[in-house]
Amino acid sequence: MLCLIEGRSHCVLYIGTSEGGQGRRSGADVTEDGNLQETLRSHKKAECWNEATHGEIGYCVKSVIDGDRRIEIRNALQWQYVTPCGTDPWDVSAVETTELERQFGPRGSSSI
């Protein structure tokens, strides 16, 4: 989920994924039937998106069939972008932090 000001990306509000993959999971963000419009309308984070936006809410979708790859992409994005509407799943040891920084760069290092 993105915050848009005058049609341009301003900040990242939330990063989610559909079900699948191994390792750290937070559950599916897309309804079982894949109805993205219904998912966005009824998502548990929708109120936070509305409160945190500085303009309009936009979204982008990347279709990835392989569940493990989808989780890997989500992990990289959640590491690189600190979002107001997501949870911070990165309560990790110094060794794990070093490995994640090697993979993805410094925590919260990306901005739009």
Q: Please, are residues 107 and 82 in contact by the beta-carbon 8 Å criterion?
A: yes
Q: Provide φ and ψ at 48, rounded to 5°.
A: -60, -40
Instruction: Give me the residue spans of the domains in the chain.
Output: 2-104
Cβ–Cβ < 8 Å for 23, 71: yes
Q: What is the pLDDT of residues 81-111, one digit of tens each?
A: 888 887 666 777 888 888 888 888 888 877 7
Distance (Å, rounded) from C-alpha 44 to C-alpha 47?
A: 7
| 24 band by pLDDT with thresholds 50, 70 and 90 | very low
pLDDT reported for residue 81: 84
pLDDT score recorded for residue 18: 63
| Predicted local distance difference test score (pLDDT) of residue 25 | 43
7 exposure class (CB count in 10 Å sphere: 0-12, 13-18, 19+): exposed
pLDDT score at 21? 40
